[in-house]
A = this chain, B = another copy of it.
Amino acid sequence: MTDTNTAIHEDGSLERLTIDTIRTLSMDAVQKANSGHPGTPMALAPVGYTLWSQFLRYDPAKPDWPNRDRFVLSVGHASMLLYSLIHLAGIEEIDADGNKTGRPALSLDDLKGFRQLSSRTPGHPEFRHTTGVETTTGPLGAGCSNSVGMAIAERWLAARYNRPEFTLFDHDVYTLCGDGDMMEGVAAEAASLAGHLKLSNLCWIYDSNHISIEGGTDLAFDEDVGLRFQAYGWNVIHLDDANDTKAFAKAIETFKATDDKPTFIVVHSVIGWGSPKAGSEKAHGEPLGVDNVRATKKAYGWPEDKDFYIPEGVAEHFHDAIAGRGGALREEWEATFARYREANPELGAELALMLKDELPEGWDADIPDFPADEKGMASRDSGGKVLNALAKRVPWLIGGSADLSPSTKTDIKGAPSFEANNYGGQNFHFGVREHGMGGVVNGMTLSHVRGYGSTFLVFADYMRAPIRLSAIMELASVWVFTHDSIGVGEDGPTHQPIEHLATLRAIPGLDTIRPGDANEVAYSWRAALEDASRPTALIFSRQALPTLDRSKYASAEGTLKGGYVLADCEGTPEVILIATGSELSLVVQAHEKLSADGIKSRVVSMPSWYRYELQSEDYKESVLPSSVPSRLAVEQAGEMGWHRYVGLKGRTITMSTFGASAPISKLQDKYGFTLDNVVKVAREMLESNNG
């Protein structure tokens, strides 16, 4: 036990009781689950208490109030801190449509079900799963980067919707982060961007406890974090003791008074405060143990025998402090918004629609219908055209690139950049920070704008974690990945994706679409926009693709089904050619050659495995009849996963190695993506299966 233990120990106030309630609830839940992280909730209870009770603008009765302050627990392993706060604050549960269920977000029984199957209190906080959780955290640095996106969204919403007489958006974003977050590069990327953008509505509270899982942070981490944040352009405040709630409150006041930069508060804390394991890595990721729980309660002056004990008055005190302030503000906001809608009916309707994750009428009216064109265009180019057609109609479709927009073609033409001097801009410059971009876009999407981020497909590797989190959270983030194959050409193997299609397709709930021509591109973007309950990865080529003559072939609308028969023969085909993206026109040529040679073939375009798998068995049987074993898949990517469609008797023309640096046509020859080779392999397969 450390000697800082006495700081708030003998003060019998409701403040102390509430803080110790947060601590003991957290300890008890971890102990009961026999699994979890007690130390950080115990250390940060005073911070959580003070922030929520004195500052957070939040109405427990209306947890989806759009202008609420956001509280992000980037230290997701400290979930019991958040769950305790949610419970004591009396947040009311809402369902996916924002309707109240009539029960608390978290009852005391929910806390007792910590980390159990189907409980509302999973090991790490999960957005959508528990009301009051603003984002799913746990993977370190993720919450930090999300919070930058939330702060960006607030600035953008304020710039677009506020009017001199109506302030609809002026909320703040608070993030609780730890040493792990500070070591992760993604948080560094996001912090640098936040400093650049002068996000004065953003406050990170850094729990500096000098402990990591392997031991003291001096094993691996002794940089001057505060100085680093100064270098990023943040306002940096140091606090000596996490238990000093007055000093912490003063720091938050400084944050609120700062209007030209984000704020970084370094709080020195003692992990597992008050327990025999205080200050040790042993207080981090395992229950304290029954005896230590008792000893800790004794140190707090707590009844040692009572579990999940909440002293009288504590919940009321905490709830009233938050609801009093937040409820009044929320009601005032609703009145303001009602007057706003009268004064600004169009903008008001737009905002209401946006907040419901819906799209305006006619949102798709300008999506181009691309005429047949043998020369065609790169899908990154058609993608840019479709994006621009959508952005005109859906003004909250905003995003940008990790410093590659001239290549990914994701700029909204004529629109200004989102910068510190223009928070209404629609084009975002995320810098060469793919991982940060991913987390930021998720944070933006969490605030109901439709965010997108783009880079080369090969660099999807840098941002796997936020892509995965967008799928876990069922966010509508759109990931635009161009330069999608060896078609990259001269930049060589480090820049040529091979395994990346498979690795995106492997993420549950992510719709990965690789359209085969400009009209499939149009349907791909449509797919990404029209359903706000899932993320989409759009995979575009660097090189030109012919625009297919849809009077001759099936409509590109089949894209929405994931896979469809593009071209066919009379009767049952002998061979089915399956392709996506830039290989679609190649198999169409092969189909025509085979037909001319008297071989009956079918072409299946399969831009999205995800969508195809959502179709009925009948539909799938109609596209890929089980009676046809000779199936050839052609894709300039690794083979992984294609056997699901070609089976053991089918073949693939895919990449089994990394690529090489050369002009594209040389690479296509080298790796067999030629008409001659496709026809040859199809014939070989047929002979082998008939032989």
Contacts and interface: CB of A to CB of B under 8 A. Distances in A.
Q: 3 nearest interchain CB pairs?
A: A185-B185, A122-B661, A220-B431
11 contacts: A76-B494, A117-B670, A138-B495, A183-B189, A219-B431, A220-B430, A462-B465, A499-B506, A503-B506, A505-B640, A647-B647
Interface in A467-494: 468-469, 471-472, 489-494
Contacts of A195: 223
A490 B122 CA distance: 7
A462 B139 CA distance: 9
A431 B221 CA distance: 7
B184 A138 contact: no
A429 interface: yes
Contacts of A118: 660, 662
A635 interface: no
A35 interface: yes
B638 A647 contact: no
B502 A435 contact: no
Contact of A196 (B36, B223, B626): B223
A640 B505 CA distance: 8
Contacts of A638: 506, 508
Contacts of A212: 403, 431-432
B213 A196 contact: no
Interface in A623-679: 626, 638-641, 643-644, 647-648, 655-658, 660-663, 666-667, 670
B490 A33 contact: yes
Interface string A218-235: 011111111110111100
A429 B185 contact: no
A58 B102 CA distance: 74
Contact of A417 (B219, B223, B641): B219
A633 to B, nearest CB: 12
Interface residues of A, number: 109
A179 interface: yes
A404 interface: yes
Nearest to A180: B432
A489 B180 CA distance: 21
A459 interface: yes
A494 B124 contact: yes
A192 interface: yes
B432 A183 contact: yes
Interface string A104-148: 000000000001111100111010000000001111100000000
Interface in A204-258: 212-214, 219-228, 230-233
B493 A472 contact: yes
A404 B219 CA distance: 12
A231 B220 contact: no
Given A116-B662, A124-B495, A212-B431, A189 B184 contact: yes
Given A214-B429, A491-B138, A498-B508, A185 B196 contact: no
A471 B35 CA distance: 37
A462 B471 CA distance: 16
Interface string A559-577: 0000000000000000000
Contacts of A502: 502-503, 506, 640-641
Given A183-B403, A185-B436, A643-B647, 8 more contacts: A115-B662, A117-B661, A139-B495, A222-B233, A227-B230, A498-B508, A508-B638, A508-B657
A482 to B, nearest CB: 13
A230 B657 CA distance: 42
Contacts of A393: none
Contact of A499 (B186, B508, B647): B508
Interface in A1-36: 33, 35-36
A158 interface: no
A227 B220 CA distance: 20
A221 B195 CA distance: 9
Interface string A161-180: 00000000000000000011
Counting chain B CB atoms within 10 Å of each CB, which of A189, A231, A656 scores highest? A231
A498 B506 CA distance: 8
Contact of A661 (B123, B222, B655): B123
A461 interface: yes
Contacts of A183: 189, 192, 403, 431-433
Contact of A464 (B436, B461, B657): B461
A17 to B, nearest CB: 29
A584 interface: no
Nearest to A37: B491
A188 interface: yes
A406 interface: yes
Contacts of A126: 492-494
Nearest to A499: B506
Counting chain B CB atoms within 10 Å of each CB, which of A122, A196, A219, A220 scores highest? A220
A213 B492 contact: no
Contacts of A462: 139, 184, 186, 435, 464-465
Interface string A414-442: 00010100000000011111011000000
A505 to B, nearest CB: 7
A196 B217 CA distance: 10
Contacts of A407: 213
B461 A465 contact: yes
A214 B494 contact: no
A126 to B, nearest CB: 7
A404 B213 contact: yes
A193 interface: yes
